[in-house]
Amino acid sequence: MKRKQDTAARKRHSHEKIRSSAALLLRRDGLRGTSVRKVMAAAGFTVGGFYAHFPSKETLLQDAFSCAIQQKRRSIEKTLGDAKGTAFLEGFLRVYLAPDHRDNLEESCPYAALLSELPRASRRVRARVREDFLYGVESFVRRLGGNDPARAREKAILALCLAFGTLAMSRTLAGFPEADELLAIAASASNHWRFGK
């Protein structure tokens, strides 16, 4: 019995290492640059062990995307604590649209990192992206609170799309002064739009 438990625990540990390595490579190298060989090497395993953990590369990419977004959510939630309403929204934009988040691909948000590639991903991968996006929207709605859930959902979608698009464009302009300008303007969006209303 103990031996079976040890084997199962080792397999879970190995699975998490593969998943985390894939999440890092996905953000850094994109969908096409994340091969099974590279993921397994980064996790410290041989390619032969891959199918003991995932039935296909597509399943790995789905799981890696979810892992990456969960890691980013935990990081942002830890930073923002229990902020609610407009304070949460402003805090999210400030943290998400910071230059260090833009410049650290290995720990950044997978949405912005993969924005140009995701439309060409398989339907199953895009379905997972959709599922994670909708979960994020609902999390924002809960944090925003208020008496109008439909309006809170609009604010959540607007803030997320503003954040993803701005970060992706800022990366495109890396090395030019406009890269930081974009982040600063979008991070202060509540000064330009009435998010709080």
Q: Which pLDDT score, from 0 to 100, does residue 194 have?
A: 60
User: How far is the C-alpha of 15 from the C-alpha of 111, rounded, in Å?
Assistant: 23
pLDDT > 90 fraction of the chain, expressed in percent and rounded: 81
pLDDT for the residue 195: 55
**Domain residues of the chain, as ranges?**
56-192
- For every residue of 127-181, which 3-state class applies, written as one string? HHHHHHHHHHHHHHHHHHCCCCHHHHHHHHHHHHHHHHHHHHHHHHCCCCHHHHH
The pLDDT, as a whole number, for residue 6 is 72
79 to 10, 88, 137: CA distances (angstroms): 32, 11, 18
Which overall architecture, per CATH, does domain 56-192 show?
Answer: Orthogonal Bundle (1.10)
- 17: which 2 tokens? 């290492």
Residue 193 has pLDDT above 70, yes or no: no
pLDDT > 90? residue 157? yes
- pLDDT tens digits, 81-139: 999 998 999 999 999 999 999 999 888 999 999 999 999 999 999 999 999 999 999 99
